[in-house]
Structure formats: structure tokens, C-alpha cells
Amino acid sequence: MISLCNGWEFSRDWSEAFLRFEGAVEVEEVRLPHTSGEVPLHYAAPEHYAFVCGYRKKLFLGEEARGKRLFLQFDAAGHIATVYCNGKELYTHRCGYTAFRVEITDHVRLGEENELAVRVDATENPSVPPFGYVIDYLTYGGLYREAWLDVRPGDYIEDIHVVTPKLTRAEVRLTVSGGAEKYRVTLLDAEGKPCCVRERNDNIIYVNYSEAIPWTLERPYLYTCLAELLDGEGNTVDSASVRFGFRTAEFYADGFYLNGKRVFLRGLNRHQSYPYIGYAAPASLQREDARVLKEELCCNAVRTSHYPQSQYFMDACDELGLLVFTEIPGWQHIGDEAWQEQAVENVREMVTQYRNHPSVILWGVRINESRDNDALYERTNALAHRLDSSRATSGVRYLRHSSLLEDVYAFNDFSHDGLTPGVLAKNQVMDDDHKPLLISECNGHMFPTKAFDNWARLQEHALRHARVQSAAAADGEHAGCFAWCMFDYPTHKDFGSGDRVCYHGVLDAFRNPKPAAAVYASQGEERPVLVVSNPMDIGDYPAGRRGDIWAYTNAQEIKLYKNGEFVASFRPGRGGLPHEPVHIDDTVGALLETREGYSPEKSAQLRAALRSVEQHGLEHLTAEDKLRLGWCMVRWGMRMEDGVRLYEKYVGNWGGDVPVWRFDAVKDGAVIASVTRGGDPRQLKLQVEVSQTRLREGDTYDMAAVRIRVLDGNGNIAPFAQLPVTLALDGPAALEGPAAITAEGGMCGTYVKTLGREGEACLTISAPGAESVQIRFSISRQTK
């Protein structure tokens, strides 16, 4: 495959003159991936990108192409793409989320430049999915994935499909254009060394390999299947290869089984959008999202809502051990007969293009959240099974007791409102108890939460994620839970907030974490996690009452200290999560004994009384609390002023020195993480995380994601630092987005993009009250 990502001309207005390379047409030189129109972070709208535009380039083909078959491949074009070669219309593709190929063999001229053009309808054309009604996400346009020239011989391998019905057996099915005397399959291990070779006279090859290393979440071992067509003398006529893994993926009534072992699917939904650039992200950013999901959020699964996504993202899922539920494009609406035919075609393209990824465990063959349409979904389900018998099918619905034609009932369970149970029981959702139940969405629009919301909302946002995930994992009825969603994203009309952004993510749009992200991150074991979602400053609480304090950690306990003195120790609750949130419900603890000299019995009664007053105030005490206070006064001869003194000293602290609270996460007796609140944290600091600093100019440009956070003197995100952040970039690179941005809730970000030249680039990040940070990038040519 020869990259065709460079050297394109782009016009926002398609015309005959543009098609024929004639006249004074205004064009812009672009590289793929490319968005038809950049969008602002806030108040984005379809008019920024939704128009009929054009791409064109000249392609020289020499005599070495004679006798070959030539194909153009576009990995995606949003959303209806018509391809022309030397002015002749060749093909129209009507899906913005799958790849397509166009043969140009008979339409090119060898020994001279050929004119290629693509007309891209980036509008919300109601003739194709997902369009026809309003949609809860923006559908960016353009040639937003990569493009290629595939040069093949007359007889060639069109497709390789590898199935592993057992952990030591691979079945390889070759689709061949033309024919061959023999077919050879060679399995290559992760180092590229041959480990097994089979030859046959037909195009179905069975490979038994007793020493196969299974693909698992912990060790996602990948093999390469190299297929060859051989002539009568044993010479290779054509070859092609795909990666795969030896693994089995099965759903039963009680859940999902990977290689025969039950795995609860704990994951998030992912859109493929980015600030400013929409869908047009190169391989490095696609891979980075998979890494964030697996390594930072410690998810074991992701749903690619609501459409197939980049092969680079999927490759990274294969490499990292991140399970994938992928689905056809759509959102609630089902169109006319032609529209439905395209939906069926989308199933065919999705399955054939993604079925070799071991990470894929489930095909979504319904239009997301659509009503029942048995005639359509009988077809889509049957087609998916015919094209790939090794995987289960599903389809996302918000309906209870919906018609189930697929293998797995995927249900958007939005029942939890903070007070109700975390999930609905299986018999409340579906009729057939013998089929699996999977939560495909939860939370999301039920509790939209901005990174700059107050602490109480951010904490409740996190707890709702924890409650639903815990309940789904604990009841034994759910195969998994994909929460809504990974990060905030722009949307249509009033689906979002006033700025047309859905603040549904556990991350902000730049992939900075809200406290809810810690619910997921704390389920991992590789790196220490401790996040405390309360500020501990009494001025942040109504009447100075702190209320509930929650922390998220993968440690065994949290020890709380006030001004260096031990207060109390707290352990996670019991539930379905490996590491449940920790409820810190005592800020007095041992201090009454160590500082006041009270007995354990007296300390316990007074702690409970002080806690109740802190939570409810004197005017709202329960009868039980009033009796406790009366008992303390009678039992130990205490007066009201004694209670007021203790409250002021250990709880209220109005007008006193700001206490320093330290939370230590302890595992196996050692402190693995620590969080400090209070004191005088005014000294601000910029924390910058970069996805990569060594950028590669290869088949196209490279990019780095830059996440920026303003920290206080204790190293915590400073949510009130809604500061202007300025970005200055020197060298052969460019910023995607503006050079002056705002730290929202103390967080923001940007992207650095290469420009086709080698060298060193330096990004300087500045904000008032904080020392500037410089990030240096090296840009080099990628060697083959």
C-alpha cells in the first residue's frame, strides 16, 4: 500500500472547474487526515463543516504499473464520497465511517500525471445513516482518515479472514480474485519469526498450533498470518498479511467469557472526535486514546459509539488488550427502504473490515436506540453471523422488553438517579433470561458535569459511576457496563449545555480527568491512585458543613491526618468493584483522645455528635442525635459551651488557621500515594502532559496531544484558576487551535502538528501567577 496522504488540494466549494483542474479556483494545500472545517471548542455547529467540498491531486504512474491492478483506498470520507479519475466518475460511497476501494486500472494513463478528485458531501444528507433526524453528536466531514494506492497483480488476495475456534487452532479463509495453483499460510510470532507453515490446494487452510500463546487482557499476544498465492513452480504470485490473536470470545446467560474465563466488561463509550480538528486525527492520536482508556482509566473494554472507528485505534486495542464493542452508524432514526439497504451494507463493510481484530468481541447490528424493526434487524443479524460466525451480535436499545433477534441484549440503563438502585434487574429489562444482558450506556445526560462545576456535583458524578458499575458487576446478571462516556464532546442543538457541548465525560474534551475518571483509574493495580473529591475548605460548604467526603484509591486503606496528627483510618466498602470508593466519615477521629484526653467511650459519643451537627446543623438534628447530645451532657457533665468549643476546634474552625489535611493511601503497610488539602496553596504551577515529544514525519503528518493543568501549592488541580493560558510555538510545527485559551476548571489543552520538515520545535506555555513551561519536540523522518 502506497500512501496518498500528501499533496491534496481542497476547496470548500465543489465545482466542475475544480474537478477538471481548470480556471482560477481557490484551493488550499492539505494533507490527510483532513477536516472539511475546523470547529471552536464551544458553540460548534454543523455549518462549520457541513457543506459539499472537494479534494483533488495529481498522481504520476510509470511503466512499472503496467499489467498491474490499481486501487484507490480511502479509509473514510464523511459522508458521501464520489471518486473521479481523469474527469470520469467511477464510484460513490455512501457511509462516512467505513473504508472503500475504487479500481482505477482502466482509467489511468501510464507515463503521465493522472487527475484524481473526490466530491465529499459533508452535509447531514437524510438519504444515508446516521442522518434523517437530529443526532446527539456532531458528524464532522472531509477525507478525515488516510488514503492509499494499492498496486496488485492480476491474481491477488482480496481478503484474509482468520478465526480461532480453539486456542490452538486457526482457520484461515482467503478471498482471491483470479486463482492460484496453491495457497500457503505462514504464521509469524510477535518477533516476526515463522512458527507454523501450511499449504493447501484450496482457499480454506486449517492450522493446528499446539504452542500458540493465547491473546489475553494481561498479555495480548499477536500473531501475523502471511498468506501467499503460489504458481505451479511454487513461486509467490501475491501475498498479504493480517494480525490476529488466538482467543475465544463467548457470551452466555451469566456473562462474557474470554478464553473460557468470565470477565466483567468494565468500559466507557468513545466518540472519535477531538477539539478543533473534529474526526481528522492521525494514527498517534488514535492510539493515544486507546492507551488512555487502558492504562490511565484501567478499562478492559470500550464501545465505539456510534459507528466503526479508526483502524489505528483498533490496532492499539489489539496491542493493549482492550475489548471492543463496535456498531454500525446510526442514532435512533430509521429511514426509508434505500436508507435501510445502506444500513445493511454498513454491516457488511463493518464486519469484513474489522473481523480480524482479536479485540472485537461484539457486533452492533441495530441502529443505536432505534425502535424495533424485525424485518431490518433479521437481515443485519443474519448477515453479521454469515460473515463472521465467531462473534456474538447485539444492538443498543433504550427500550425494555424489546424484540431480541441478536445474541446479547444491550440496554441503556439510565435508571439510577442518585437515590434509586444502580441498575435494573434482568427481569425488569428483558424477557429471555437465557440471553446475556449488557449495559451499553449509563449516567451521561442523567447528570451532565463540567470540569468547572462545584465539588459537590463533581463528587456526585463520580459516585453515580461507581454505584452503577458496582451494582452491575455484583448482581451476576450483567455481562458488563459501558458508561457514557469517555470525554466531553460537541453536539447538536439542545442535547448539550448552552454552548452545545455534552458534558457527559469522565474526562474533558482534551482528555483531562474529572473526579469520575478516578472511579475507573482506581480499579487498576499497575500504578498508585488516590483522588479525594472534597476540597476540605469550609468556605466551599453550605454553612461550613463538609458533608460526605469520598476518595477513590486502589490501596487497602486511607489514613487521614490533620496538621500532622493522625485522625482515623478508612477502608473501601464492599461491592462489585475491585476497589470501591472510600467513605471518609470522621474528621475528628482519635484527636479527642490524643488532644483532649477523653476516654474511648466519651470520644466515640462526642465524635458522633459532632459529625451529626456538622452534617445537619443543630436545627435539623434527629431525635437520636438529640438524645446522644443529652446523654453526653448528663453522663459527663458537659455544658453547651463545651460542645461549642469542641465544634469550633475540631469541625468549624471559623476564623482560625487553615488546617492541613493529609490523606495517605496505604497498601501492604506502605504509603503509595498522598493528597494534601488546606494550608496556603496559593502558589500555582503548570502541569503539562504530552502524548509524545518525538514526532515522526512519515506517510503524513504527526501530532502530539498536550494536556495542561493548573495546580495549587499542594499539587491538586486548582479549579478556581480559570486563567488565560498562552501558547507560543517555535520551529517546524504548528498549533491546532488558538494560541490563547482558558483553563476551565483549571484544565485545558492543545495539539502540536508537524509541517513536513525535520528539526526541533519548542512550545512555551504561560499563565498568570505560574512559571512558564517549555516542551521541546524533535521532528524526524520516519524510516521504513
Domain boundaries, the chain: 2-152, 156-244, 270-521, 538-678, 685-781
pLDDT tens-place string over residues 741-755: 999 999 999 999 999
Cα–Cα dist 486/330, whole Å: 19
Cα–Cα dist 295/291, whole Å: 6
For 762, half-sphere exposure in the C-beta direction (CA atoms, 13 angstrom radius) is: 6
Asked if residue 83 lies in contact with residue 114, where contact means CB atoms within 8 angstroms, the answer is no
Tell me how far apart the terminal alpha carbons of the chain are, to the nearest angstrom: 13
Flag residues of the chain having pLDDT under 70.
Answer: 655, 784
For 446, the grid coordinates are 442523567
In one letter, which amino acid is 759? G
User: Which helix (H) or strand (E) segment is 660 a member of?
Assistant: strand 660-667
Asked if residue 745 lies in contact with residue 507, where contact means CB atoms within 8 angstroms, the answer is no
Kindly report the backbone phi and psi dihedral angles of residue 619, in degrees, each rounded to the nearest multiple of 5, phi listed first.
-75, -10
Residue pointed to by grid coordinates 504458481: 231
pLDDT at res. 689: 97
Neighbours of 620 (CB within 10 A): 10
Pairing state of beta strands 360-364 and 392-397? parallel
| Nearest in space to 327 (alpha carbons), one of 214, 399, 412 | 412
Cα–Cα dist 55/118, whole Å: 5
Cα–Cα dist 620/638, whole Å: 21
Cα–Cα dist 436/643, whole Å: 56
CA distance readout (Å), 145 to 41, 267, 272, 280, 349: 21, 25, 11, 6, 16
For 293, the grid coordinates are 482508556
Cα–Cα dist 733/596, whole Å: 63
Exposure class string for 283-301: b at 16+ Cβ within 10 A, else e: bbbbbbbbebbbebbbbbb
Cα–Cα dist 108/588, whole Å: 81
Alpha helices in 579-676 (DSSP H): 591-594, 600-616, 623-636, 640-647
pLDDT at res. 680: 76
Work out the angle between the directed axes of helices 623-636 and 640-647 (0-180°, nearest 10). 110
User: For 330, left (φ over 0), alpha (ψ -120 to 50), or beta?
Assistant: left
Cα–Cα dist 755/488, whole Å: 28
Kindly report the backbone phi and psi dihedral angles of residue 215, in degrees, each rounded to the nearest multiple of 5, phi listed first.
-85, 120
Kindly report the backbone phi and psi dihedral angles of residue 15, in degrees, each rounded to the nearest multiple of 5, phi listed first.
-155, 165
pLDDT at res. 291: 98
Q: Which residues have CB under 8 Å from 104's CB, separation 6+?
A: 70, 71, 72, 85, 90, 114
Chain-centre distance for alpha carbon 776: 27
pLDDT at res. 631: 80
Helices and strands, number each (H, E), in the chain: 12, 46
Cα–Cα dist 436/181, whole Å: 45
For 775, the grid coordinates are 516542551
Kindly report the backbone phi and psi dihedral angles of residue 685, in degrees, each rounded to the nearest multiple of 5, phi listed first.
-145, 140
The 28-30 sheet, strands edge to edge: 28-30, 8-11, 52-61, 112-121, 80-85, 88-93
pTM listed for this prediction: 0.94
Asked if residue 268 lies in contact with residue 302, where contact means CB atoms within 8 angstroms, the answer is yes
SS3 355: coil
Residue pointed to by grid coordinates 478543533: 276
pLDDT tens-place string over residues 473-493: 999 999 999 999 999 999 998
Cα–Cα dist 441/309, whole Å: 18
What class has domain 156-244?
mainly beta
Peptide bond into 33 cis (omega under 30): yes
Q: Which residues have CB under 8 Å from 123's CB, separation 6+?
A: 46, 50, 51, 52, 79, 141
Cα–Cα dist 119/89, whole Å: 10
Q: How many residues does the chain have?
A: 784
Its sign, for the CA torsion 530, 574, 293, 424, is: negative
In one letter, which amino acid is 707? R
What class has domain 685-781?
mainly beta
| Nearest in space to 767 (alpha carbons), one of 782, 747, 753 | 747
Rounded to 5°, the CA angle 591-592-598 comes to 140
| Nearest in space to 596 (alpha carbons), one of 557, 642, 560, 551 | 642
Asked if residue 238 lies in contact with residue 156, where contact means CB atoms within 8 angstroms, the answer is yes
What CATH code would you report for 270-521?
A: 3.20.20.80
| Nearest in space to 335 (alpha carbons), one of 138, 141, 133, 78 | 133
DSSP string across 304-333: ETTS---HHHHHHHHHHT-EEEEE-S-SS-
Active-site amino acid positions: 369, 441
Rounded to 5°, the CA angle 406-411-414 comes to 175
User: Would you say the CATH fold of 685-781 matches that of 156-244?
Assistant: yes
In one letter, which amino acid is 476? G
CA dihedral 595→599→600→602, nearest 10 degrees, is -100
DSSP string across 132-178: SS--SS----BS-S-EEEEEE-SSEEEEEEEEEEETTEEEEEEEEES
SS3 276: coil
Asked if residue 244 lies in contact with residue 207, where contact means CB atoms within 8 angstroms, the answer is no
Asked if residue 547 lies in contact with residue 541, where contact means CB atoms within 8 angstroms, the answer is yes
CA distance readout (Å), 554 to 337, 478, 520: 52, 23, 10
CATH (one of 2.60.120.260, 3.40.50.300, 2.30.30.60, 1.10.3720.10) for 2-152: 2.60.120.260
For 246, the grid coordinates are 488466538
CA distance readout (Å), 473 to 359, 478, 520: 21, 7, 13
